[in-house]
Structure 1
Amino acid sequence: MRSITRSPAGLSLAAAGLAALTVLAVSGAAGTAGAAPAGTDSLYAPSALVLSVTGGDDAASGTVLRAVTLVCAPRPGGNHPAPAAACAELRANGPELDALAEPRSDAACTREWDPVTVTADGVWQGRRLSYSYTYANPCGLRNSIGVLFGI
């Protein structure tokens, strides 16, 4: 059996670190730099989405396979693999995302039923957006027209 002992010096260092963090938190010096007060206006309408791919025909009861964030204002970002291209598609199509989700007409996919559902939830140009599209199988998703759901 292995036992770990702590020296009083180690405890006093940990206590000193905790005390320093407490002072910073109480004084407001930590975590507030650059934060805008609530209710302030921005030059850009908020545009941030969470995109997900879920196994199954219902996003609420399926298993989330992948999820990413996409921020489009003031500049493309998030952990989407191609944020600039995805934001450009969103700007071109607005909140009508069916045009981006549809599989290409020349896609050669089997007719097996193994559904996957993509969702986009968040805010697009200051308005709430909630979108869902179910593919018959993963091949349809791989062959979708846009890069938005290519996560």
Structure 2
Amino acid sequence: MSKPVVFEDIFEVLAADPGGKHFDKVTRFQCHSDLYEMDLMLDINTSIYPLHEGDKFSLALAKTVNLDNTPTDGTFNAQMQSKERASLMDTYEYVMFGRIFKYEDTPSGANNQMRVQVFISFGGLLLQLTGDLQKLQELEVDANIYLLMRKV
């Protein structure tokens, strides 16, 4: 049986709203990870989950929040937070549900090493993750996905 988490890494916030501020409660963060050398652009509702330049956080992408890997449809229900039923959400501070809408190859660097870009929409909040194909190959277009975050 496969695990629900298909990607996990620790990112550092490099810049907030690098293209300028567009929305009152949403900030676009430019981030980078040292472990897998990933680049991340991520929109966060900062009135709910504040982040600042220099902050580090763990980011996981999962197909389901159920530890037994049973599927979910993204609809919130009280059982998801029940003490009788543990879930991935119990160990994270911020969770969003979305859909992968674009996946493209992009050459990078002097040796044209192949990297991919994955684009995910969380109800209008966007994520762009760029990195090694081997680390992102389990992400498929039109798949539902959970984003889970916690500060480290």
Q: TM-score range by the shorter chain?
A: under 0.3
The structure whose residues are more often strand, as a share, is: 2
TM-score (norm 2): 0.22
The structure whose residues are more often helix, as a share, is: 1
TM-score (norm 1): 0.22
For the pair shown, which has the larger CA radius of gyration, 1 or 2? 1
